[in-house]
Amino acid sequence: MRINEIFYSIQGESTFAGLPCVFIRLTGCNLRCSYCDTEYAFNEGKEMSIPEIIQAIEVFPARTALVTGGEPMLQKSVHELFRNLLERNYTVLLETGGQMPLSDVDPRVHKIMDFKCPSSGMEAHNDFENVRCLTPDDELKFVIGDRRDFEWACDIVRRYELASRVRAVLFSPVFNKLAYPDLANWVLNCGFPARIQIQLQKIIWPDMQRGV
């Protein structure tokens, strides 16, 4: 597998936010979101075998592992990685965009899927068939840049009855673009139990872009 970075930090997003976590960031992404904060993962990385990855993460005390990217589902060996992590009793989280098929993901993996709102520039790439692959243990994230994004996200949540389908619907403001109070007021009036998700890593380590 091509690995961009492996590090130990605080999980900054999802309902697992605040927990110590091992991060396994895979290289490569087929999207180019306007607000992307991990462009360094598009191409940078080195080849590692599954045993090498396991050896690298086992030095850390956390038993939660996040597989992220880039887009981790682009690498076929990701399923073998999931199996190896699960066999070692890790709680396995997967961060993935809404454009890659998820039907083959082991149901024990906690999927955190990110449908792309209009301001991302990648809305046309969403694969709404993935809604059928979501379980009550999974989470759905919308990165919100403006009011149009918010209305679009609310429409998707209602159309697919997502609030009752998944563990959490997460609305995350585009960092340094959408004010937290604006999104908070919109969520208060949206009519379903969405959660505001603020990227904790950017608050705890505002001057660090990697390894957090």
Tokens of 83: 């199996």
Look at residue 102 and tell me if it is in a domain.
Answer: yes
The pLDDT of residue 134 is above 80: yes
Mean pLDDT of 14-25: 97
Peptide bond into 70 cis (omega under 30): yes
State the amino acid at position 5 in one-letter form.
Answer: E
Residue 15 vs residues 170, 189, 198: alpha-carbon distances, Å: 9, 21, 11
The pLDDT of residue 120 is above 80: yes
Q: Which domain holds residue 91?
A: 2-204
Look at residue 171 and tell me if it is in a domain.
Answer: yes
Can you spell out the DSSP letters for 42-95? TT--EE--HHHHHHHHTTS---EEEEESS-GGGSTTHHHHHHHHHHTT-EEEEE
Look at residue 55 and tell me if it is in a domain.
Answer: yes
- pLDDT of 194 reads 95
Look at residue 157 and tell me if it is in a domain.
Answer: yes
Look at residue 212 and tell me if it is in a domain.
Answer: no
CATH of the domain at 25: 3.20.20.70
The per-residue pLDDT of the chain, averaged, comes to 96
The pLDDT of residue 22 is above 90: yes
**Left (φ > 0), alpha (ψ -120 to 50) or beta: where does 5 sit?**
beta
Look at residue 199 and tell me if it is in a domain.
Answer: yes
pLDDT class of 176 with cuts at 50, 70, 90: confident
- pLDDT of 206 reads 82
Q: How many domains does the chain have?
A: 1
Q: Rounded to two decimals, what is the model's pTM?
A: 0.94
d(CA 93, CA 137): 10
d(CA 206, CA 208): 6
Each residue's pLDDT tens digit, 149-168: 999 999 999 999 999 999 99
- pLDDT of 210 reads 84
* Enclosing H/E stretch for 195: strand 194-196
- pLDDT of 121 reads 97
